[in-house]
Structure 1
Amino acid sequence: MKLTLGSLGLLLGSALLLQACSTPNTVQQLISEQAVIVQVKEGKYQGRYRNQYRIRLGEREYPVSCEEDCYPAHPAVACQSHGENCQYNGEQPVPELGSGFAVHWLGHASFLVKTPDGQQLLFDPVFGQFDWPVNWASHLVGIIKRPYTPSLSAEQLAATDAVLYSHLHYDHFSHAAIRQIGTEARYYVPLGMADYLPKGGYQVLEKAWYTGSELGELTLHLVPAHHFNSRRLFNDDDRAKWGGWVVEHQGHTLFFAGDTGYSEHFRDIQQRYGDIDICLLPIASYHHEEHSDWYRNVHTTPEDALVAAEELGCKVMIPWGYGNASWQMGDISSHSPLLRLLHMQQQMQSTVPLHILNEGESVAL
């Protein structure tokens, strides 16, 4: 076999890539004295994680539920067709919180947050299409719609100080994004999730619920969510924990809820950390004609999110999950959750300030 300079370079590059991928990650596990860990004690599912407030499916009572005419058109939401391919164009004053946080919504559940001490955090970053096999299955079956794929430049990615993941589902956790971000950032994940990161010399900190740690002038707390976790096709359900994040800086707080249904954990978070300045709350993926009880159990409806915002004492709520780049799984249309949110805000006479972003927009608070 004759080796050319090109083929030799290809072989050398492949060898370096394999070596990088085989480099073990550095994993630190953090469990505070105040930590809450809920696991199955015995039986077939021993050791698997569970939600803190478990109620039999179909028996949970919700404070508010929209029953009819939940998706009226709104003058501030301009759509190509009803609830589909929309832009929010309403006037909205920016609350003067003086928190020093700047929030950039990348789309779906992904956020870039600039912190008051000059750091850059990424929450649930997913860029481009999704990891195998979901990207392959979506093209094959055509059930996942994500026509717009927001991304960050190499310079923006290199500026990342920390990546905070909520759980393993493919629309929230991406090996491709992790490889793009690289090894300079620290990766913060719930207990058990470190095993699911790609190898390559990443710095990973696993946390239990209500465990905080310092990063510069920030304190990062993993907090509960009412959801579930899985990644692989067989036998890994709930073997890793899930959660949301509270970021503290000199008395100001930012809360990223992750995927979650409504439960008493929102009140618990407020009791521990006080009223939250900035709440990034999901409002989508709750609707299903045949399995609505299950969908709502693990995803807040817009009215659930408004109730949660009241219980959290949110000084401003930024909703997410809707949008032209959303998966549109468990939603009627791209912006049906936003239309329902604006409708229920009026119906409930909610006093929580909303700040509505279109994908790719930012706000300094």
Structure 2
Amino acid sequence: MNRLDLTADPVDLCAALVDVPSVSGDEVALADAVEAALRAQAPHLEVLRSGDAVLARTNLGRPSRVVLAGHLDTVPIADNVPSRRDGDLLYGCGTSDMKSGDAVFLHLAATIAEPRHDVTLVLYELEEVEAVRNGLGRLEREHRDWLAADLALLGEPTNSGVEAGCQGTLRVEITTHGRRAHSARSWLGRNAVHGAGAVLDRLNAYTARDVDIDGCVYREGLQAVKIAGGVAGNVVPDECVVTVNFRFAPDRDAAAAEKHVREVFDGFAVVLTDLSPGALPGLTAPAAREFIAATGATPSAKYGWTDVSRFAALGIPAVNYGPGDPNLAHTREEHVDTRQITEATAVLRRFLG
């Protein structure tokens, strides 16, 4: 079994985590190593293994509790394991998304035996795949009490800034219909691909909102992300499907977002294929205010969807905070500036106390 030293410098711990491959669906070796390390090196923590998720918590009776949450899995490896160092940069699959955040959380959970807040560590599997398989969703169903908290910190890469809440996302398919004919006698048919132009016209004319919530500005976007149509090189197509993605501010709930998209495309056949609600910033909660003060950062809106939405749906304020550049996530050249790992560890140690 791979052995992890949770008391080591979190930079070294991050490298050790990266060196244990954990592509989505194959997290067992890393989960085993994390569980064994927590049981051996953190006797002050209650530890739970659930599937390939590992959870640990203090039970000190503090008046508040903070969840430190991160996923153990990565996207497929791109010849970037094992890790390697180049000055202040640590390269490897998952260095940014999000084993650097996991390393910070693991180190602090293991080395702070008397935190100011009770702490729950939640490291879960299958985040990088379809939402129905997400380990955090399973934990919500099977171990809801382990997720209860006054604040949840998700260690997604934010360049050690605070990104509050997240956008919601939905996808719809809009189908236009025509009449099939031989392209040499096109007047006998009606081209469904041409008909999709009216859908694109509405998208081109659309004006997206900017929404300020708790000082965080969320920018919405409505975009065509795929067009599928055509039968053969000599056939007028009789069907075309335009896939549209709506990224919406968290002041809209899921139903309101769907209603808005259907209004934009009134008169067209619209089929909803995917929908995940956003998360409000929740920055007015006492634990969140204390955390913001500890970071000294000015929170910004999270562009994109993260698992903070799952905590928000449970009524738990949640923010994204972790080392690493999100723009490097999933790339062959993925890396993290190790100074951000050190900084995030110091900030969270001050906050947790």
Shorter-normalised TM-score: what interval? Answer: under 0.3
When Rg is computed on C-alpha atoms for both structures, the one with the higher figure is 2
Structure 1 length-normalised TM: 0.25
Structure 2 length-normalised TM: 0.26
Structure number with the higher strand fraction is 2
Structure number with the higher helix fraction is 2
